A and B are shown apart, each in its own frame.
Chain A
């Protein structure tokens, strides 16, 4: 058996000075993200397919199919002067960001804490619970960035983007994904026992958010007591901003700042909550 021990290197600690603790403190979450991405790559064909096929399906069926009906009837007057396709494009972009982030956050939490307990394996190394949470979040963001970019290119090819600023809708959509993803990371790491609960969350939070955030129709079409669902939804904020960026939909500077702030707040609050949950569960 050839298991042998190496020569030491002077500035490192740990077993025979192999380990650079400062480097781990700086970059530890990247190693977690790499492990998650390797897992994701096992399903890469599904991810690519979803990044491309999903947008196509929506663009054709809803954007063009329903769009034909809308444009023929109330048409541009009801939508502020643009085609239905242009109207829904930024909303679908933000939705892609959000669902992509959510997938890569919720499932790894269930897996890492309960099914395979891989987070506990990570925690027995010099990594900290915060780094593990950050790594999962970062890997979710890689999927978000990929999916949003693919979708944006498709929107461009479909002619759904009307403004030279429209590429900025990519970062705003990603920010929406980051905000909601962080919140979901907090949630998924908080729930200790109920897989069922996550399914319910899907039905009671994600679905209403998707339907009442001004995605398929202007939020103002809804009675005023339903509109608050949209106001607290990161999807609505990203959609409003996205519309401004892709076809000059008018919003005030105050509102623009508000939209960005809400998503940033969700991001920060979500991550801090996630950190607390990861620390609590891994240090029991």
Chain B
């Protein structure tokens, strides 16, 4: 990808070296009345990376995103986006961002094309430039045939693609996506991931929040695991799994009554054990061999499954709860 270097204006960094910190937060706090949604977090996002906030609903991810997007005022702590304080330089910061919110806020009474057009105008982009971008973006979003269609008539997946396309009209340096595939069917999710991969290839810095661990694993270079407004861990998906889980997991079911009682017998067979309401998870580096030991111990599970460890397991280890409640 070709990046032109140009002088920054007003202290805001526009283009620079890959790897430099674009966003720096220290002790970030957000309160809604008495409730502390973000309870003092530190993080850094570097140019060109794909950074994730992983956690269940209510973890504080969306609140954090809104602070970074310079739309919501923080209650405490420090944050710097592209070298600027969002409390003082909101519009300047927002000029560099592309925002894909959790629920689409498209203008449903006008067409796909018009939605892109008016959004480009909010950025003060010239009409000829916008017209050219619209062609590109419709192709990117695979919505060329729906150009003149009223947004009301689009499916959920199409609306999401349009929202993402819209966020790109100003060619933002940082693209922020809040739960991008929530509520979409598997096919729509994969199309979306594909689009995001291509953006990554172009060097756009991505900021994603999600409660889907497969999404986090697929899309993110580095992640923060959040729960109840705090950071539980920060690393790449692979490092998190290495640090907080084992390579493999054996899932067994004995029927809900027997699960808990058998757990004590199984503890010695693996590195770690986790008892869930409907099954038991046995963590070890070799799941198959644990399964053999289970049978040798005279126990016959109703079902068994050996799988790779995932971020779900990391979250379970860190918080004692599952990601999706």
Please give the residue numbers on chain A whose beta carbons come within 8 Å of chain B beta carbons, in ascending order.
Answer: 1-8, 10-21, 23-25, 27-28, 31-32, 34-35, 38-39, 42, 116-118, 120-128, 282-284
Given contacts A13-B8, A18-B129, A116-B108, A122 and B122 within 8 Å (CB-CB): yes
Contact of A116 among B90, B94, B106 (CB under 8 A): B106
A234 smallest CB distance to B (angstroms):
30
State whether B72 touches A28 (Cβ < 8 A): no
State whether A42 touches B109 (Cβ < 8 A): yes
Contact of B170 among A11, A19, A23, A31 (CB under 8 A): A19
Q: In B136-181, which residues have CB < 8 Å from any A CB?
A: 136-137, 139-140, 168, 170-173
State whether B6 touches A17 (Cβ < 8 A): yes
Please give the residue numbers on chain B whose beta carbons come within 8 Å of chain A beta carbons, in ascending order.
Answer: 1-4, 6-10, 12, 14-15, 32, 69, 71-73, 90-92, 94-97, 99, 101, 103, 105-110, 114, 118-119, 121-125, 129, 136-137, 139-140, 168, 170-173, 198-199, 202
- Tell which of B101, B171, B202 has the most Cβ of chain A within 10 Å: B171
How distant is the Cα of A24 from the Cα of B91 in the complex, in angstroms? 9
State whether A39 touches B109 (Cβ < 8 A): yes
Task: Work out how many contacts link A and B, with CB atoms closer than 8 A.
Answer: 150
A238 smallest CB distance to B (angstroms):
31
Q: Which A residues touch B198, using CB under 8 A?
A: 1, 3
How distant is the Cα of A3 from the Cα of B172 in the complex, in angstroms? 12
Q: Which A residues touch B3, using CB under 8 A?
A: 5
Q: Which A residues touch B139, using CB under 8 A?
A: 1-2
How distant is the Cα of A117 from the Cα of B107 in the complex, in angstroms? 9
What are 20 of the A-B contact pairs (CB < 8 Å)?
A3-B137, A3-B199, A13-B8, A16-B6, A17-B6, A18-B125, A19-B95, A19-B124, A21-B91, A21-B95, A31-B124, A32-B122, A39-B109, A118-B107, A125-B123, A127-B91, A127-B122, A282-B71, A283-B71, A283-B73
B250 smallest CB distance to A (angstroms):
42
How distant is the Cα of A25 from the Cα of B123 in the complex, in angstroms? 10
State whether A15 touches B172 (Cβ < 8 A): yes
State whether B110 touches A39 (Cβ < 8 A): yes
B243 smallest CB distance to A (angstroms):
35
Contact of B10 among A13, A17, A116 (CB under 8 A): A13
How distant is the Cα of A21 from the Cα of B124 in the complex, in angstroms? 8
Contact of A123 among B14, B71, B121 (CB under 8 A): B71
State whether B71 touches A124 (Cβ < 8 A): yes
Closest to A5 in B: B171
A36 smallest CB distance to B (angstroms):
9
How distant is the Cα of A116 from the Cα of B139 in the complex, in angstroms? 25
State whether B121 touches A34 (Cβ < 8 A): yes
How distant is the Cα of A177 from the Cα of B105 in the complex, in angstroms? 30
Given contacts A4-B136, A21-B124, could you give 9 more A-B pairs where the C-beta distance is less than 8 Å?
A3-B140, A10-B7, A17-B6, A19-B170, A120-B101, A121-B106, A121-B119, A124-B71, A124-B101
How distant is the Cα of A6 from the Cα of B99 in the complex, in angstroms? 20
State whether A31 touches B202 (Cβ < 8 A): no
Closest to B10 in A: A13
State whether B121 touches A15 (Cβ < 8 A): no
Q: Which B residues touch A31, using CB under 8 A?
A: 118, 121-122, 124
Given contacts A7-B4, A17-B6, A126 and B123 within 8 Å (CB-CB): yes
Q: Which B residues touch A126, using CB under 8 A?
A: 91-92, 94-95, 122-124
- Tell which of A6, A32, A121, A282 has the most Cβ of chain B within 10 Å: A121
Q: Which A residues touch B122, using CB under 8 A?
A: 28, 31-32, 35, 122, 125-127
State whether B110 touches A3 (Cβ < 8 A): no
Contact of A124 among B97, B109, B121 (CB under 8 A): B97
Q: Which A residues touch B12, using CB under 8 A?
A: 13-14
State whether A3 touches B121 (Cβ < 8 A): no
A178 smallest CB distance to B (angstroms):
24
